[in-house]
Structure 1
């Protein structure tokens, strides 16, 4: 049960956006910029970073919705997303994305866990400074979003079909709504 009065028909962050629309605007703008704005990382790669961080934070709503969005937007779909959540090393993604996912998980732990070695490893497989920046910011932002959603005990649907629909909408419309 949510800690504050939220619309029970709106799951997860959607209910929080409706509760306080003035904070929804900058939060949605940040997500839109990070996940849909110009980047050398594909939309699916950025959604996968958000998914892996949310999975590591055990945020059911964010994991479910962003895993579905990643599955809609990444080459290989759902099997790639599931593999990355299970084990970055075994995921069928590029070495660069694996290195960036390792950095994202370090950020999830603490920003100070991002070491020179992790950065050097990502650069060695082609990661640019902008990709390093955006990976760290996506990971940090999703730690915030995850804690926002779970800290107020929002409703997270049990039915995987609900997330599949959210993923389709996110893939088609992004975060500018």
Structure 2
């Protein structure tokens, strides 16, 4: 049960942006730029970074919703999402993406955990400054989103089908402010 009065039956961050659309709009705009805007990282890889950080933060709503979006975007390679969540080092993603995910994981702990060696490793594997920047910003943003969602105990569906539908919506329309139901 949420800690504050939120719209009923609206899960996760969607309930929070409906509760306070004047702040929610900015959060959704940020998510849209980070996850769907121009970047040298694919949309699928950016969703995977969001998923990985949410997994590390044990934010099940964000982990499951963004994992569903990443699976949609990866298409026939959707199993990569579960591989990363199960064992990053054994996952079938590129070594460059593994290095970026390791950076994201360090940001999840504490930004100062990211060391020059982490950056050098990512660069040696082909990551450029923009990819490193976007990885760190996605990781930091999702730490905030995860704490926002869990800090107010928003509704977290348990039905995997609910997340599949969310993933399809996020990949088709992106991050747009939901509309309140009309009475």
Once residues 78 and 59 of structure 2 are traced to their aligned partners in structure 1, the CA distance between those partners, rounded to angstroms, is 18
Alignment of 1:20-169 (within 5 A): 20-74=20-74, 76-169=76-169
Q: Deviations over 1:114-169 (max 9, x none)?
A: 01111000000000001100000000000000000000000000101000000000
Q: Which runs of 4+ in 1 moved over 3 A?
A: 75-78
Once residues 88 and 14 of structure 2 are traced to their aligned partners in structure 1, the CA distance between those partners, rounded to angstroms, is 29
Partner of 1:3: 3
Q: Unaligned 5+ residue runs, structure 2?
A: 178-183
Structure 1 residue 75, shift from structure 2 partner? 5.2
State whether residues 44 and 75 of structure 1, in contact with CA within 8 Å, keep that contact through their aligned partners in structure 2: no
State whether residues 70 and 77 of structure 1, in contact with CA within 8 Å, keep that contact through their aligned partners in structure 2: no
Partner of 2:19: 19
Q: Unaligned 5+ residue runs, structure 1?
A: none
Once residues 105 and 135 of structure 2 are traced to their aligned partners in structure 1, the CA distance between those partners, rounded to angstroms, is 10
Distance 1:113 1:76, change over 3 A: farther
Using structure 2 for the length normalisation, give the TM-score: 0.94
Using structure 1 for the length normalisation, give the TM-score: 0.98
- 1:157 aligns to what SS in structure 2? coil
Structure 1 residue 176, shift from structure 2 partner? 3.0
Once residues 95 and 75 of structure 1 are traced to their aligned partners in structure 2, the CA distance between those partners, rounded to angstroms, is 20
Once residues 64 and 38 of structure 2 are traced to their aligned partners in structure 1, the CA distance between those partners, rounded to angstroms, is 25
- 1:74 aligns to what SS in structure 2? helix
| RMSD, matched Cα | 0.9
Q: Deviations over 1:92-121 (max 9, x none)?
A: 111110000000000000000101111000
Task: Tell me the number of residue pairs that the alignment of Structure 1 and Structure 2 aligns.
Answer: 177
Once residues 11 and 120 of structure 1 are traced to their aligned partners in structure 2, the CA distance between those partners, rounded to angstroms, is 39
Distance 1:108 1:76, change over 3 A: farther
- 2:78 aligns to what SS in structure 1? helix
State whether residues 11 and 157 of structure 1, in contact with CA within 8 Å, keep that contact through their aligned partners in structure 2: yes
